[in-house]
Structure 1
Amino acid sequence: MVNPLNDLRNLGLRDWLIGGDSLQLQQLAEEFYLELINFCASGTTPKIILAERQPEKFLAGFIAACSANCPVFLCNPDWGTQEWEQVFDIVQPDIIWATEVINISPKIYQPQSKIPNWIMIPTGGSSGKIKFAIHTWDTLVASVQGFKQYFNLNYINSFCVLPLYHVSGLMQFMRSFTTGGKLAILPFKSLESGHIYNIDISDFFLSLVPTQLQRLLQNPNLTNWLSQFQTVMLGGAPAWDELLEKARFHHIRLAPTYGMTETASQIATLKPDDFLGGKVNSGQILPHAQVIIRNQNGEILDNNQLGNITIQAKSLALGYYPNLWDNRQNFSVDDIGFLDEQGYLNIIGRNSDKIISGGENIYPCEVESVIRTTQMVNDICVIGVPDNHWGQALTAIYVPKEAYTALHIKTAIQDKLCKFKIPKHWISVPELPRNSQGKINRQQLHQIAGAAPSTVKI
């Protein structure tokens, strides 16, 4: 039986947690564990909401819940009332471990049957509706083992600047904790302000999302710091060519990845040497996973044929709480891509993001990439808005650099894109609505487009 608390005890006074207090972590884990054991003595296995902001408290709660075989729901302490109301209706918690008081009107819930010791990781918040992917200690460890084998490592040192409630942060803890590596934890805002630990990071893995990498590369000292890492994982959202080229210019050992909450982080990763050698894709598939490309009829496609991505993986979630998936053998995702002859995965875009304008299929990431090459925008997202003539009209919502206008940008790209791929509407905004992982909130973008004056058309 899994008991990570015993593993934590065995670590003793070993200096494995950097930027945190490992002794406090163990003491808190013991206290949380005792609370759960006492609760379970009443005959009820509690459902736990874990929304601690302090890393030691969060990790202690997570370790205690897994050790006591209690289902735990990882939650964002910064969720607002609307999100928390969704969560409480889904979870109906027995225990809440949270830094701040969650102000939700009490409700009387119907008794629920006991659920297994699942680990529920949130996903889908950027779409306005929160879901929890159901994982287990075994699915998370399967992801760790695939990572470890792919990079040929005995242990994994992680430098975490991402939130622990998110799969991207949690898996950094899992990699270090289960392989005997070190874990450094530092809030990204502290890192961005120049606060870094005085440690040798040459054998550490750092994970970033593209917007974080962009901001760090604006600081020469932090750019030099990034170049010292063994590997800088990049995921969470598509990266643009200009950003990748800048990282390559500074010889940053970048490893673009492809994965999701449902697969317990990445299932494909481009190794740093391939990246520095000029490859631009999501890399090869990790040993614990398999990617199959299928057409719309479900037929398996050959190499270099564009189709729908389906995934098989030991790290795959069991379902979305409270429902289990009937068929976990072929997890079909929203992404469109292909595998080349060397087994490298190339992602073209999301099927749901595809815009059909005048009968033509347009993938926004291609248009966004070309617009970024003009270096006239700080940020850009292209969406389709309803249009009586075109069906959907291509609309660019962008954050301009300096005094550049939509006309400047449109002129710069007119020879680089087919005419039907050039946005018909342009909306300038101070910033794009992104979550902490850098993902765009498209629901808010459509609200912005709906409220924009008709004069944005050029």
Structure 2
Amino acid sequence: MVTDGGESGDSTQTAPTAQTFEWVGAWSERRARLSPEKTGLVDATSGRAFTYRELDARANQTARLLRTHDVADGGRVATLSRNRPELVDCFFATGKTGGVLAPLSHRLAPPELATMLSTVDPELLVVESPFVDLARDVLGHDDCSVTADVEVLVVADSSDDGSHPDDWSRYDDELPDDDSPVHRADVSLSDPHLFLHTGGSTGVPKETVVTHQSIVWNSFNTVTAWGLRPEDTTPMVFPMFHTGGWNVLTVPLFHVGGTVVVAREFDASAVLRSIAEYDASVLVGVPAVLRTMCRHDDWAETDLSSLRFVKSGGGPCRQAVMEAWWERDVDLSQGYGLTECGPNNFAMPEGSFQEKADSVGVPAMHVDARIVDDDGPVPQGEVGELELAGFHAADGYWQAPAESEETFGDGWVSTGDLARLDDDGYYYIVGRTKNMYVSGGENVYPAEVESVVSTHPKVEEVVVVGVPDEQWGQVGKAVVEGDESLTLDELRDFLDGKLARFKVPKRLAFVDEMPTSGPSKLDREAVEAAFGES
């Protein structure tokens, strides 16, 4: 109870309950009011551009469509699609209806998707035309419990004249013409807005419940940490079934009134062209994407002068890749995030991106971070598991209480990543808890070894795994993509003095191309399964 403070001194009032704000979920209409004629989205594949006024009108149409299929007040729409404007329409529209957008990866196999679709249990499934057969296989799979009569809409480009199943309608045919303002649902910050699945490198991916609060606070962190501006433009190279496709830059740029350029496929040449064509000022990608770009034939001739900064995320970025961007006068630094928290958690203070190149920076404005072991926080400089906390954290995993308790249970998000903190307050990611191995009683963190091995001129990419050894218990095996004339003795000589002897790999293997999972991330589990026995 709170004393009113009136003359009698005995008047009281109850504390206010959690308030629902009219702006929650009102992304497109609020931005359309602020900058109606500003281009918010460009579809590079079709060549179409959309102002924020047009995006809000499309969101109103889509909201009416979703409501006819009960995607409101917690109802869910699942999508199986590449990056395209209709996904942005669904994001804005679910904000208006109180529905949930659950994008699924078209790169997964039918058994995985069947289980995931059953978990989501959507009222509506939107399928891009190239994935019609995949969707059929998923819906018909024994592990899919979604009813056969679930509504399915097929979305396609205007140039796509391919047929679709007779019992599935085309998305455009169902879309109402009425684009006038719609009545919005009573949505609170604690309500879910996105179901985003984890990378799925071990087992079937879990659906992470990302609330309106998570999205808003991650956007605050990104805008304040990276200094995003209304004039910023980005080519979006993350897929929109991944948290990177939404929360790394798309939603934060919509927040400030910037411009996002999407395309159906990632093509290094096309992205390089788009930097100059659209005066792109910010770019965020996984290391494999940034490496592909700087090794493309068009790299040297591409004008990169419009870029204010580039961020690498989704794994350690090799020194050679960072140097290639630095040589073009581009400020490239590493970031860190995960579906369960953020994904934007750290910022690189001005002027330190090269000096602290191996670091992910310092915690962003509204992020708490700590490094712990089983006994609690570890002393500064020691390695432990990174934990994060803040309003940008997700709410848990959908229909997975045990896993939710393990990851989110004590108010800190357990990342599963090993990290250390230096004397200046910068955080360094040294590997995954499950990837660390013990050699002769010493902990070895593969990321540290890989960082040095990757600087050998014959190494394009490397993954180090621990393998059984009779003498030392475990030793490192370097699995290399590169020049297969490299010998183990040559590699050992190169690493002499650069790494402690117990960290130097004792085995060597080669692959033609590294396997990937998720948005072009190295699939360490696949490498370990293939090479980790001996």
Task: Sort the TM-score into its range (normalised by shorter chain).
Answer: 0.7 to 0.9
1:17 aligns with one of 41, 60, 77: 41
Compare 439-448 and 59-68 and name the one that shifted more. Answer: 439-448
- Whether 1:165 aligns to 2:241 is yes
> Could you tell me how far 1:311 is from its partner in structure 2?
1.1
TM-score, normalised by the number of residues in structure 1 = 0.87
Alpha-carbon spacing, 1:118–1:228, altered in 2? closer, same or farther (3 Å): closer
Distance 1:391 1:151 in 2: 44
> Which residue of structure 2 aligns with residue 120 of structure 1?
195
Give the secondary structure class of the aligned counterpart of 2:498: coil
Superposition deviation, residue 236 in structure 1: 0.8
Equivalent residues of 1:36, 1:46 under 8 A apart: no
CA distance in 2, matches of 1:136, 1:404: 49
- 2:116 and 2:204 in contact (8 A); partners too: no
Matched, 1:380 2:403: no
Letter in 2 for 1:90: T
- CA separation of 1:5 and 1:374: change in aligned 2, threshold 3 A: closer
Distance 1:450 1:90, change over 3 A: same
CA distance in 2, matches of 1:424, 1:233: 33
Deviations 1:48-84 (A, max 9, x none): 2122324101111222222211122121123221321
Give the superposition deviation at 1:412.
Answer: 2.5
1:287 to partner: Cα distance: 0.6
Note the C-alpha offset of 1:221: 4.4
1:26-58 residue CA offsets vs partner (Å, 9 max, x unmatched): 5653343112222339x9853221223241011
Provide closer, same or farther for how the CA distance between residues 284 and 350 of structure 1 changes in structure 2, counting only shifts above 3 A.
Answer: same
1:37 pairs, out of 61, 64, 67, with 67
Residue 266 of structure 2 corresponds to: 189
Give the helix-richer structure, 1 or 2. 1
**Shift, 1:385, TM fit:** 2.6
- 362-371 vs 13-22, which deviates more? 13-22
What does residue 211 of structure 1 align with?
288
Which structure: larger Rg?
Answer: 2
Tell me which residue corresponds to 2:386. 309
**Aligned equivalents of 1:348, 1:188: Cα separation in 2:** 31
Higher deviation after alignment, 179-188 or 85-94: 179-188
- Residue 117 of structure 2 aligns to a residue whose secondary structure is helix
Deviations 1:398-424 (A, max 9, x none): 112264344432343244333322222
TM-aligned CA distance change 1:302 to 1:196, over 3 Å: same
Matched, 1:64 2:93: yes
Q: Tell me, in whole angstroms, the C-alpha distance in 1 between the residues paired with 2:464 and 2:303.
A: 33
Identity %: 22
On the 8 A contact 1:126/1:440 being kept in 2, the answer is no
**Counterparts of 1:45 and 1:141, CA distance in 2:** 18
Structure 1 position 53 matched with structure 2 position 88: no
Residue from 499, 505, 512 that aligns with 1:417 = 499
**Which sits farther off after the overlay, 137-146 or 401-410?**
401-410
Is 1:6 the counterpart of 2:34? The answer is: no
Distance 1:353 1:447 in 2: 12
Q: State whether residues 21 and 56 of structure 1, in contact with CA within 8 Å, keep that contact through their aligned partners in structure 2.
A: no
Work out the CA distance in 2 between the residues paired with 1:246 and 1:158: 20
**Counterparts of 1:9 and 1:245 in 2: how far apart (Å)?**
40
Q: What is the alpha-carbon distance in structure 2 between the residues aligned to residue 238 and residue 395 of structure 1?
A: 18
Partner Cα distance (1:341, 1:443) in 2? 33
Shift of 1:174: 0.3
Correspondence for 1:141: 216
TM-superposed deviation, 1:294: 2.4
Residue aligned with 2:336, SS: strand
Match of 1:339 in 2: 421
Alpha-carbon distance in structure 2 between the residues aligned to 1:429 and 1:261: 29
**Which of the numbers 397, 422, 439 marks the counterpart of 1:357?**
439
Equivalent position amino acid for 2:94 in 1: A
Instruction: Name 1:289's counterpart in structure 2.
Output: 367
Task: Give the equivalent residue in structure 1 for 2:315.
Answer: 237
- Give yes or no for contact 2:74–2:192 (8 Å, CA) kept in 1: no
Does the Cα contact within 8 Å between 2:73 and 2:98 map onto a contact in 1?
no
Change (3 A) 1:188 1:371: farther
User: In the aligned structure 1, how far is the partner of 2:335 from the partner of 2:227?
Assistant: 17
SS of alignment partner, residue 358 of structure 2: coil
Summarize deviations over 1:293-328 as a string: whole Å, max 9, x none.
223301x34433433222111101111112454635
Worse-superposed segment, 250-259 or 432-441: 432-441
Q: How many Å apart are 1:436 and its aligned residue?
A: 4.8
One-letter amino acid of the structure 2 residue matched with residue 14 of structure 1? K
Q: CA deviation at 1:198?
A: 4.4
Number of equivalenced pairs? 445
C-alpha contact (below 8 Å) 1:396/1:425 kept by paired residues: yes
Distance change >3 Å, CA 415–CA 123, structure 1 → 2: same
Long gaps (5+) in structure 2: 1-21, 148-189
Q: Give, in angstroms, the shift of residue 241 of structure 1.
A: 2.5
Distance 2:410 2:252 in 1: 24
SS of corresponding position for 1:374: coil
Partners of 1:227 and 1:187 in 2: CA distance: 26
Question: Aligned with 2:115: secondary structure?
Answer: helix
**Range with greater deviation from structure 2 (188-197 or 434-443):** 188-197
Q: Note closer, same or farther for the CA distance 1:262–1:108 as it changes in structure 2 (3 Å cut).
A: closer
Deviation of 1:260 after TM superposition, in Å, equals 1.2
The alpha-carbon deviation at position 358 of structure 1 amounts to 2.7
Deviations 1:5-42 (A, max 9, x none): 4346545443222334327755653343112222339x
Q: TM-score, normalised by structure 2?
A: 0.75
Segments of 5+ residues of structure 1 without an aligned counterpart are none
Question: 2 CA distance for matches of 1:379 and 1:116?
Answer: 42
Contact 1:268 1:283 in 2 (8 A): yes
Question: Are the counterparts in 1 of residues 269 and 298 from structure 2 also a CA contact under 8 Å?
Answer: no
How far did 1:180 drift? Answer: 1.3
Instruction: Name the amino acid aligned to 1:424.
Output: K
